[in-house]
Structure 1
Amino acid sequence: MKDRRKVRAGLAAVAALCAVAAAPGTSLADAADGARAYETRGTRISGADADSDAPSLTAGRTYVDSVGPGEKRYYGVTLDTKSAAYVSAVAAPRPGADVTSYRDGVKVTLESPEGGICGTAAPKIETNGVAYPLADYASRQMDSGPASCHEAGRYVVTVERQDGSPDPERWPVELRLMVEPPVKGGATGAAPEGSWSTPSPEPPDGTPWPRRGGRGFTDAPTLGSGVWKDEITPGETHFYRVPVDWGQRLTAAAELSADDKDQSTRPLDRALALHAYNPARGLAKRGIPAAQDGDAPRTQVATAPVAYGNRYANTGSTVRAMSFSGGYFLAVTLNPPQVAPHLNGPVPVVLRVRVAGAARGGPSYDRDPVEAGFGLTAADRKAAKRHPDAADDDRMASPGSGAADSEKTALRVVGYAGIGTGTALVLGLGVWTLAARRRASAQRYGPPPGW
C-alpha cells in the first residue's frame, strides 16, 4: 500500500517539475492564466457614499456591488428586537491580482441606529501575491454588545477596502443579510456548550470520488464525509458545502501529492490554502499545515462542535462561529506559481472531509430556521451520510474507476506540462516508476488510498 502511494506521489511530483521546465519565465500576470474568478451572484446594488443615502438589504437575498481601494460603501438593514443578524461581505480580487499580505483586505461593520458598533470583521490577504476571496460577517447578538444594538430600527452596514493597495482594480463584493429566528423563551445567555477536550478526529482515508468545486458560495456542491478529488488551476479557489448538525464538528484536509524523497518539491508545502466558513459565511477556521516530513503537502482545519451557546464564548471567534447547524463551507485555494513555482496548469487536489459526532437536538426556534438559511434539510442529512454518485455533467472520471482512473489523473498532469521538457525527465520518470512498481509487486493491494 505504501509503495502504491509513492507511485502516485512520484508521478505528481515529476509532473510538477515538468511544469516548471515547460514554462520557465512565468510572470505575475501569467500566474493565473486560465484560473476561474469568484462568480458573484445576486441582485445588483450600488452602495452609497453616506448612510443617509444607503440602499436597503433584505434578509435572505444576495446582492452584488464593487469596492475600490480606499473606498467605503454604505447600506441599510432593518432589524427587530429579538433576532440575531449576520451581514456578510465576500470581496473577490481577480486571480493573479497584485496583493500584499495583511495589508490588502476589507472591513465590514454593523452599526446601531445610534451609532454603536454591534459587530465588525476585517478579513485580509494572508500571503503576498495570493489573491483569493475574502469573506466574513458583522453580527448583532441580543445578549452582547452596546444596549443600542438591541433596539429595533434601521442599522447601517459599511464595507471598506484598505487604502494604498497595489491592485488598482475594483473588487466585486457579494453581500448577504441573514436573520436568525429567536429561540422560544428568548436568548438564554448560557455558557458556551462547544468546549471539548478530545483530539480532533483525523480526516478519512479511502479512494477519492470526483467532485467539481463551485466558483463561489452560491454554487458550492454538497459533500458528506469522505474523500473527494478535484482539479484546480493555480490562482483559483473552489468552494464546497458540508452539512454539519448540532453537536457535530468538521475536520477537513486539502492535499497535493509529492515524493517523500524528492526534496525539490518542498515549495509545494505553500501551495494550498484552506478556509472553513459557517452557514452565514463567517470565517470559522483557517487551515494550518499538517504534513509531517515525507508526507504529502497538506493543509487542515478542525472546528469546535456546533452548539447554540458557542456565540457567548470568550475563547475566540473560531468557537463563536460554530453557533448554528447548517451548510458549512470549505474554500480551497491553489496558490499561483510565484508562491508555489512547481505548479502550472490544473492540478489534482484531494479533499478529505469528516463530520464527527452524533447529531443531537438544537434549540427550539420561534420560526423555521431553514427558511432563514440555517439548519439542515432532509436532503442535507441524506447527502451527509454517504458518497453521492457523480453528477451527470461532471467532466471528471466517474467514481469506482479505482487505480486505473487514479493513475490516469496523475499522468494527465504530466501532459499539461508539455512533451518538450527534456528527455532526461521523461527517462527518469520511466525508470523511477518501473522501480517503484517492482517494489510494489511483492505486495497485495486493496483499493488505493489516494488518487
Structure 2
Amino acid sequence: MTTQRIRTVRGTGRRAAAAVAALCAVVALPGPAWAAGEAPYAYDSAAQQVKGADTTTNSAQLKPGSVYRDTVSRTGKQYYRVDLDGQHNAYVSVVAVPPPGGKADYTDGIKVSLQDGSGSQCSAQEAQFSSAGYTRPITAYAMREVEPGGDGGNCQSPGAYYVLVERTSKSTSTPEDWGLEIRHVTEPALKAAAPTAPSDDWASASPQPPDGGPTKRVGGTSYFDATSLTEGEWRDDIRPGQTLFYRVPVDWGQQLFATAELGSSPTGDDYVSNALVLSLDNPAGGHVDDNTLSYSGKQATLALDPQPPVAYENRFESSGDVSDMRFAGWYYLSATLSPEVVKVYGDKPVPLTLRVNVVGQAQDGPGYVGDPGPFAVTDDDRDAAASGQSGSEASTSGTMKLVAAVALGAGAVLLLGLGGWVLVARRRATRAQAQAPAHTQEPTQYGPPPAW
C-alpha cells in the first residue's frame, strides 16, 4: 500500500507537469513573422520543424498524430517518410501558405502524393489557385488505404512509405518560398466489414436558409484556430487579401450545406472578378470543394456544391467530392477576399455572411477497432461549436480541464494522506494516555506524520 501510494503521487505530479507544460507551449509559442499590413497564418502551436529532402533516402520521418512545419521553394520537390503498419489507413495533408496578396497563375499550386517502397503511387491530390489568380492557403492530401482481405499488393504491406510534395509556379508568379503545415493522421480498422456501395439517394437541393438571423462570429486565421460554427447565419468582416477560417462538426449521416454572401458597398460599383473564394476541406485536411464569386458593389451570394451525407462507404466512390466525405469530424470552411478589391473599394472590410445548414440526424459510426481520433464528433466538439470556440481555444480548454482534473486528483491523494496521518496520530495519543500512569499523564502532541 505504501509503495503504491508513492507511485500514484509521483505519476500524478508528472502528468500535471506535462499538462502545464503543454498549456504554456500553447500560450507562449510565437507565431510566424509577416510583413507589416499582412494577415498572419496561425500555424499549429504543436508543429515541429522538419526539413524535406530531395531524395527518399534522406527523408525525415513524420509520426502519426503529429504536426510539422517546413517551407518549399518555387521549384520545390521534397520527400518525407512515414512508416505504416498493415492495419491503419494513413493520411498526410499539406497546407501550402504563400505570402498573402501575391500573384498566382491558374495552374499554380501543390501536389501531394504517397508512394510505397517500390515507387508505386498509392494516391495523390492537387490543389491549385485556379481562376482566382491570387495566393491564399490551400491544402491537399494523400492516403494509403488498407483493403480488407487484400492480397498484399501495392501500398498494402507494412513498411516505409514516402510523401512527395511538389510545388508548381509560373515564372510570372510571386517567387517567395511558401510555408508548409504538414499533418499525419491514421484511421483504425473496422470491427466488421462496412458497405462498399455509396448511396445515391440523398438530397441535392439546398435547404431553406437557417432561422434566427445573423450572429457575429469572427473567423480564425488558420485551420488550427478556425472558429467553430453550428447550423446558423454568421456575420463577419473580411479585408482584401485576407483568409478567414471556420469549422463545422458534421457527424455520420449528416449533410453540410454552406453559402457565403458579400454585403453591398456604400461606394464604388466597379467589377472585380473572382473576388471571393469559399473552400471546403475534410477532417484529414483533404480538399473537397471550392467556388468563386465576382463582386460589383452589390450584395452577391455563392454556394458550395451539395455534398452527400457523411458515410464510410463514400470512399469507394470514384468522384473525389463524394469520396472525400468519408468520415465524421470537423469540416473546414475558408473564405478569401481578393487583394484586387482594395483597388476599387479601398482597404476596408467588406461584410461577409456565412449560412450553414447541417441536415440529418447523427448516426452511429462504422465501428472502429480503436479510438477514431479526429474522425468523430464528440460532446466537447458540439459544445465548442455552440459557444464559438476556435480550435486553439478548444485545445487550451481541454488542456485546462486536464490540469484541473490532475490537480484535483493530486489534491485528493494529499488530503487522504493527511487524513490518515491525523487518524494515526490521534490513535497514538490515545494509546499513550491509556498506558501512562495516572499521575504522569499529560496532553500528548501529534507526532510527525508516518513514513510512506
- The answer to whether the Cα contact below 8 Å between 2:279 and 2:334 also exists between their aligned partners in 1 is yes
The answer as to 2:177 corresponding to 1:170 is yes
- Name the CA distance, whole Å, in 2 between partners of 1:52 and 1:300: 45
The unaligned stretches of length 5 or more in structure 1 are 1-31, 394-451
- The answer to whether the Cα contact below 8 Å between 1:221 and 1:239 also exists between their aligned partners in 2 is yes
Residue from 347, 361, 364 that aligns with 1:361: 364
Residue from 270, 276, 279 that aligns with 2:274: 270
Residue from 98, 101, 106 that aligns with 2:103: 98
Report the CA distance between 1:343 and its aligned residue.
5.0
Q: Deviations over 1:354-411 (max 9, x none)?
A: 11111111200000103xx221111223455x565999x9xxxxxxxxxxxxxxxxxx
Deviates more, 1:241-250 or 1:133-142: 133-142
The answer as to 2:344 corresponding to 1:346 is no
- Name the CA distance, whole Å, in 2 between partners of 1:376 and 1:127: 34
Report the CA distance between 1:222 and its aligned residue.
1.1
Deviates more, 1:62-71 or 1:137-146: 137-146
- The answer to whether the Cα contact below 8 Å between 1:269 and 1:298 also exists between their aligned partners in 2 is no
The answer as to 2:220 corresponding to 1:217 is no
Q: For 1:79, give the aligned amino acid.
A: L
- The answer to whether the Cα contact below 8 Å between 1:224 and 1:383 also exists between their aligned partners in 2 is no
The answer as to 2:255 corresponding to 1:249 is yes
- Name the CA distance, whole Å, in 2 between partners of 1:357 and 1:115: 42
Aligned to 1:37: 40
- Name the CA distance, whole Å, in 2 between partners of 1:215 and 1:174: 14
- The answer to whether the Cα contact below 8 Å between 2:132 and 2:292 also exists between their aligned partners in 1 is no
SS of the equivalent of 1:138 reads strand
- Name the CA distance, whole Å, in 2 between partners of 1:74 and 1:390: 32
Report the CA distance between 1:163 and its aligned residue.
4.6
Q: Deviations over 1:251-304 (max 9, x none)?
A: 111111127xx996362663211001100111111125599x997211211321
Deviates more, 1:339-348 or 1:41-50: 339-348
- Name the CA distance, whole Å, in 2 between partners of 1:111 and 1:351: 38
Aligned to 1:182: 189
Aligned to 1:123: 127
Report the CA distance between 1:340 and its aligned residue.
7.3
Aligned to 1:84: 89
Report the CA distance between 1:178 and its aligned residue.
1.0
Cα 1:203–1:93 change in 2 (3 A) is farther
The answer as to 2:230 corresponding to 1:230 is no
Q: Deviations over 1:65-113 (max 9, x none)?
A: 00011111110001111221111011011111121122x1111110012
Aligned to 1:147: 153
Deviates more, 1:208-217 or 1:239-248: 208-217
Report the CA distance between 1:335 and its aligned residue.
1.1
SS of the equivalent of 2:86 reads coil
SS of the equivalent of 2:40 reads coil
Map residues 59-74 of structure 1 onto 2, 5 A cutoff. 59-74=64-79
Q: For 1:274, give the aligned amino acid.
A: L
Residue from 294, 299, 324 that aligns with 1:296: 299
Aligned to 1:333: 336
The unaligned stretches of length 5 or more in structure 2 are 1-34, 394-452
* Greater RCO (Cα-Cα under 8 Å, separation 6 or more): 1
Q: Deviations over 1:14-39 (max 9, x none)?
A: xxxxxxxxxxxxxxxxxx97341323
Q: Give me the CA root mean square deviation.
A: 2.9
- Name the CA distance, whole Å, in 2 between partners of 1:116 and 1:389: 42
Q: For 1:342, give the aligned amino acid.
A: Y
Cα 1:288–1:162 change in 2 (3 A) is closer
Aligned to 2:213: 207
The answer as to 2:113 corresponding to 1:113 is no
SS of the equivalent of 1:319 reads helix
- Name the CA distance, whole Å, in 2 between partners of 1:226 and 1:197: 19
Aligned length: 352
Aligned to 1:57: 62
Report the CA distance between 1:147 and its aligned residue.
2.2
Q: Deviations over 1:403-424 (max 9, x none)?
A: xxxxxxxxxxxxxxxxxxxxxx
Aligned to 1:426: none
- TM-score normalised per structure 1: 0.72
- The answer to whether the Cα contact below 8 Å between 1:336 and 1:343 also exists between their aligned partners in 2 is no
Q: Which has the higher strand share?
A: 2
Q: For 2:137, give the aligned amino acid.
A: P
Aligned to 1:47: 52
Cα 1:289–1:202 change in 2 (3 A) is farther
- Name the CA distance, whole Å, in 2 between partners of 1:236 and 1:294: 18
- Name the CA distance, whole Å, in 1 between partners of 2:330 and 2:366: 17
- The answer to whether the Cα contact below 8 Å between 1:194 and 1:310 also exists between their aligned partners in 2 is no
- The answer to whether the Cα contact below 8 Å between 2:240 and 2:342 also exists between their aligned partners in 1 is no
Q: For 2:376, give the aligned amino acid.
A: G
